[in-house]
Homo-oligomer: A and B are copies of this chain.
Amino acid sequence: MDKIYPDWTLTHKKTLDGVGLQPIPATVPGAVQLDYARAFNYADYWYGENYKQFIWMEDEYWTYSTELVFTCAEDEKAIFHFGGIDYEYTILANGEQLCHGEGMFTPVDVNLTSYSGQKIRLDVVIHPIPKCSNARPHTRQEARESCKPPSAYGWDWHPRLVPMGIWEESYLEIIPKGTLLSLDATYRLSDDLTVCHIKAFATMYGEDDVTVTLSTPDGAVVFSETQRFTEYNHNVTVFDIENPKLWYPRGYGDQPLYVLTAECGKSPKKLSKKLGFRRSRLVRNPDDEAPGFPKSRYDSPATLEINGVKVFAKGSNWVNTEIFPCLMDEKRYRELIDLAYGANMNIFRVWGGGFINKESFYDICDEYGIMIWQEFVMSCNLYPDKEHFLGVLEQEATTVVKRLRSHPCLVLWCGGNELFNSWSGMTEQSHALRLLDSICYKYDRFTPFNMTSPLTGMGHGTYNNVISNEDGRSANPNNLPEGVKLPEKDCEFITLLTYCRHTAYTEFGCCGGADPEYIKKYITSGDSYENCSPDNPVWVSHHAFKAWSPTSWLRIPETEYYFGGYTDTDDLMRKSLLIQSVCYKAMFEEMRKQAPRCSMALNWDFNEPWPCAAGNSLVNWPAEPKPALESVRQALRPTLASIRAFKNRYLTGETMKAEVWMLNDSQNAVDLEKINVYIDRNGTRELILSLCVDTVEARTNRKFGELRLPISVDFPPLFKIALDVPSAPECNSEYIFFHR
């Protein structure tokens, strides 16, 4: 049972029946763009505007070719396994078509047994990227009739650069009879969580006696049974285990992982799979129904309840780690997840415009207790009710659900991003979403499914620190209580947020730039760096300007708002990073204060797949934390003292009216005596309030007092408020405010 990884070459042509030009060496797994860049010494795609070099490749046919000679014994078969082909493909053996298909996430197995003993030329033709015919050219609309991740078509943090190629591990395998091919399991917990009903199933080539075993995290065997498994049977092993050790998100309990194995005598191959057991539900938030008549529906449930325990979900939106899916790897996953873990996060929303991650991503999250909200590959488009599209979607979604359902970290399926908003126009009647709900119900019904985000009661946006009318976007007046009016122009988003009563903030962003040294290294330097303006295409390409509105994501007017201006590009970038830090901290802490009405706070976004000069992320590509990550880490500590100041910037003469809170989303009560509030002006600390406080129960937030602080002319441009908790210094907090 050897795996053979042949050498491949790559050619391209304009039409399917054309002649391939310029054979170059190909790397599998890889991408045609990377092979071509390697062969022809293209400059780094992440630098400057170099991504534009690749545009012409989108509409070509790309042929991977290899030659194989192999021999199968009588009881063997030869399977060429393609782990993933991106996107539409035709596979030929000696010029004869073996199969044609589309969808990058469904592996393709080609049976080559009949070619045993012959020389075989294998061709994999990658078709041009899908482009919906009536779409606006060079926009995400082109992806709206396919399952191709749309962010590659251009997004406000992603250049137009659409990967193509054999992106997953692919090899020829000679398989003898009596080989176990796959092992999978589903389970159902009893209502009281004391019994786990497990169904393990395996596929087999030939037949043999197979022993299926389940071991505890400590290695103790809790179940073992030997049965005759055959090629044409379902090979199901059903058993119960009593008092299973349950998997919890971090902070709520442990992450025990059982090991399921299947082994047969004849074959050297033993399959094994980790399993974690948990019950995930999405339950209703408080105050979810408006009083009186006419009565409409309440808000969609938005509280994750794991094993009966309601969880406050705090984390971030995850996008693809790389432009090219072949470059996603366990090392990068672990670096990034380590950073999120360090920042006290317990959830990622794996956003529907990017890739479904590789297995190792979910393995790490299982291990760390980080919950995953997993979306299918649809975002911001009107995906149609068309047969062909629905067929591909069914294939891709079925693959994904069956592959990922046994990961305990995966607590929520979701159809995709912002599909119900006006810019998409889908509804709960859209066949794609009804189909996805059906598939999730059929294969994984004990994990909840949402059609999209946001749903009724949830909120997306905004992504600016200051709301202005410049973008034609205003604060949502429906969220304001009677009598409250926001300033018409230049209101901080944090001010609006204190009046919002959303169930879940599943996207919100505070934009900021990047460290000058980072930008110079990856993006641009010298004159081009100093000319930081919408006229400079390098800055524009890397999303500093015109990414969404004319001024995003660098938003120079915000630097004006908070600082009154800047001196040079270095100064601009550093000020912008500080604004982002301060605002993210205030936002996350405000959302925590709104619990239990609010049960989720997920900023947009955690990471990015290439170097952005500005944006909402907490981590720069490939895995370099921005300063805001540290302020988010502080904001997401299980227990902390927190201020609610309603604004981050004060003008001379204003009075800060701020509340002092203790936030506690841990499983334990905290006993306190005192919170001391200091003002720090230019390094000089002054006690301005000392509050006597007592116990804060587990999973409870409490307001303990208020302060009023007149902002006089002698305040420096930046000052700090510090909250010290002498009996629990790990709860100490410090806030920066802007004064103008």
Contact = CB atoms under 8 A, between A and B. Distances in A.
Interface of A: 281-284, 289-298, 300-301, 418, 420-422, 425, 427-429, 431, 434-435, 437-438, 441-442, 445, 448-452, 454-462, 467, 473-479, 500, 502, 505, 508
B284 A425 contact: yes
The 6 closest A-B pairs by CB, nearest first: A294-B459, A292-B476, A293-B461, A293-B462, A438-B438, A297-B420
A406 to B, nearest CB: 20
A478 B441 CA distance: 35
Contacts of A438: 437-438, 441-442
Given A289-B421, A441-B434, A442-B438, A427 B294 contact: no
Nearest to A290: B478
B476 A293 contact: yes
A502 B431 CA distance: 25
29 contacts: A282-B427, A284-B425, A284-B427, A289-B421, A289-B422, A291-B477, A292-B475, A293-B459, A293-B475, A294-B461, A294-B462, A294-B502, A295-B459, A295-B460, A295-B461, A295-B476, A296-B454, A296-B455, A296-B460, A297-B458, A300-B428, A301-B427, A301-B429, A434-B441, A434-B445, A437-B437, A437-B438, A438-B438, A438-B441
Contacts of A477: 291-292
Contacts of A293: 459-462, 467, 473, 475-476
A418 B293 CA distance: 13
Nearest to A464: B293
Contact of A454 (B295, B422, B437): B295
A424 to B, nearest CB: 10
Given A293-B476, A437-B438, 18 more contacts: A282-B429, A283-B429, A291-B476, A292-B474, A293-B460, A293-B473, A294-B454, A294-B461, A295-B418, A296-B458, A297-B421, A297-B456, A298-B421, A300-B427, A300-B428, A301-B428, A431-B441, A434-B441
A184 to B, nearest CB: 21
A284 to B, nearest CB: 6
A500 B294 contact: yes
Contacts of A454: 294-297
A577 to B, nearest CB: 23
Nearest to A467: B293
A301 B428 CA distance: 8
A418 B289 CA distance: 12
Most chain B CB within a 10 A radius of its CB, from A284, A295, A450: A295
A502 B296 CA distance: 9
Contacts of A281: 429
Contacts of A301: 427-429
Contacts of A418: 295
Contacts of A459: 293-296
A292 B500 CA distance: 12
Nearest to A455: B297
Contact of A456 (B291, B296, B449, B451): B296
A50 to B, nearest CB: 34
A294 B498 CA distance: 12
Contact of A422 (B298, B437, B458, B500): B298
Contacts of A425: 284
A420 B460 contact: no
A460 B449 CA distance: 27
Most chain B CB within a 10 A radius of its CB, from A293, A460, A478: A293
A249 B506 CA distance: 42
Contacts of A449: 429, 434
Contact of A476 (B294, B457, B458, B461): B294
A300 B462 CA distance: 23
A508 B455 contact: no
A737 B398 CA distance: 62
Nearest to A453: B297
Contacts of A442: 438
A163 B466 CA distance: 64
Contacts of A476: 290-295
Nearest to A439: B438
Contacts of A474: 291-292
B295 A421 contact: yes
A450 to B, nearest CB: 8
A473 B502 CA distance: 24
Contacts of A502: 294, 296
Nearest to A282: B429
Contacts of A458: 296-297
A427 B282 CA distance: 9
A496 to B, nearest CB: 8
Contacts of A467: 293
Contacts of A290: 476, 478
A602 to B, nearest CB: 12
Contacts of A473: 292-293
Nearest to A508: B294
Most chain B CB within a 10 A radius of its CB, from A425, A445, A500, A502: A445
Contacts of A435: 441
Contacts of A457: 296
A431 B445 CA distance: 8
Nearest to A301: B427
Nearest to A431: B445
A330 B477 CA distance: 53
Contacts of A283: 427, 429
Contact of A420 (B298, B420, B462): B298
A467 B456 CA distance: 28
A385 B207 CA distance: 38
A435 B441 CA distance: 7
A559 to B, nearest CB: 21
A435 B442 CA distance: 9
Contacts of A291: 474, 476-477
A292 B497 CA distance: 13
A115 B582 CA distance: 84
A456 to B, nearest CB: 5
